[in-house]
Amino acid sequence: MRILVTGGAGFIGSHLVDRLMELGNEVRVLDNLSAGSVDNLRKWMDSERFEFIHGDMREPKVVDEAVEDVEAVFHLAANPEVRIGAQSPELLYETNVLITYNLLNALKDSNVEYLVFTSSSTVYGDAEVIPTPEDYGPLEPISIYGGAKLGAEALISGYAHTFEFRALIFRLANIIGERANHGVIYDFINKLRRNPEELEILGDGTQRKSYLHVSDTVEGMLHVFEHFRKEDKTVDFYNLGNEDWITVREIAEIVSEEMGLHPKFLFTGGIDGGRGWKGDVKFMRLSIEKAKKTGWKPRLNSYEAVRRTVRELLATV
């Protein structure tokens, strides 16, 4: 296929590009490099099947040109930092909702058949049902980030039904792995490099969440996408995550062990019952039964994914 990947120079996006190229697709990447790096795509730059566009999706003309002559769009471009919402809600709006709106306006006048969007577990907020299925409701995000993702989901659904393209929406758990440049593991490694004696941990350490390695994420996305193409639904939703979960304290212990350190843990205590920050969902585990019915399941559980990620980041960061 001829595929556009927005945010394709970023963490998850570049791993997706790697797999799409390995499978023989023609891939175009649109990225403003605010969070990504061309180094993540270096090995494809000389390929005749690859094209890189350095552009900002807040500019409609850039998006209009990027969607020309492609059959599918994998929309991963976004500001990935949940915590920024309290300080800069307008930035999260621009880099999650506005860019999605610009993309959808471009799609309605194009020949694109499929849109694949990476949403987030944060759309569920503090779910009362765990593991949380795709049909859980009402959806009540507790962060600006989660609200922006849910807003983008709603726009995608409306546009797909109105302008007759098909949309697949993934609600992702915490995705980790090589090339990650934010998140708890990345933060812990950098903190311990600065001070091996102490490790500050946001919250009370009992926050418990599901983590999925980026390799399992990409395989899940592509597997479910092929399943989706064979069906006739206009819009569908799938959770991608793990069947287990792990606490922040346990992550800190794994990072310390892999670095050969024995730091003193300093818990900030957090807010609202031990959350790391305003809008932090304290307990998150998604039901992945729907994705499993298509034949996909993660190869690494949360603990294995965390340990592998620590080793990958220590080798490269």
- Domains of the chain (ranges; CATH) run 2-175+211-240 (3.40.50.720), 177-210+244-282+299-316 (3.90.25.10)
Determine the 3-state secondary structure of 231 from DSSP.
coil
Instruction: Give the pLDDT confidence score for residue 88 in this predicted structure.
Output: 81
Is the CB of residue 94 less than 8 Å from the CB of residue 100? no
124: annotated active-site residue: no
Could you tell me the CA-to-CA distances from 288 to 134, 217, 285 in Å, in that order?
9, 12, 9
For residue 290 the two structure tokens come to 């729907």
Instruction: Give the pLDDT confidence score for residue 85 in this predicted structure.
Output: 47
Question: Is the per-residue pLDDT at 256 higher than 60?
Answer: yes
Taking the C-alpha atoms of residue 96 and residue 85, their distance in angstroms, rounded to an integer, is: 11
Averaged pLDDT, 223-244: 98
Question: Is the per-residue pLDDT at 292 higher than 90?
Answer: yes
Taking the C-alpha atoms of residue 6 and residue 73, their distance in angstroms, rounded to an integer, is: 8
The one-letter amino acid at 312: E
Instruction: Give the pLDDT confidence score for residue 87 in this predicted structure.
Output: 62
Active-site residue, from 101, 114, 136, 145 = 145
At a CB cut-off of 8 Å and minimum separation 6, what does 65 contact? 53
Instruction: Give the pLDDT confidence score for residue 83 in this predicted structure.
Output: 65
Chain mean pLDDT for the chain: 96
In this predicted model, what pLDDT tens digit does every residue of 205-227 receive, in sequence order?
999 999 999 999 999 999 999 99
Instruction: Give the pLDDT confidence score for residue 252 in this predicted structure.
Output: 98
Give bridge partners of residue 208 from the DSSP assignment.
247, 283
H or E element, residue 262: none
Position 82 confidence tier, pLDDT thresholds 50, 70, 90: low
Is the CB of residue 298 less than 8 Å from the CB of residue 223? no
Residue 53: Cβ-neighbour burial (10 angstroms; 0-12, 13-18, 19+): middle
Instruction: Give the pLDDT confidence score for residue 86 in this predicted structure.
Output: 57
Give the residue, 56 or 272, on which the prediction is more confident.
Answer: 56
Instruction: Give the pLDDT confidence score for residue 79 in this predicted structure.
Output: 84
Is the CB of residue 198 less than 8 Å from the CB of residue 256? no
Position 84 confidence tier, pLDDT thresholds 50, 70, 90: low
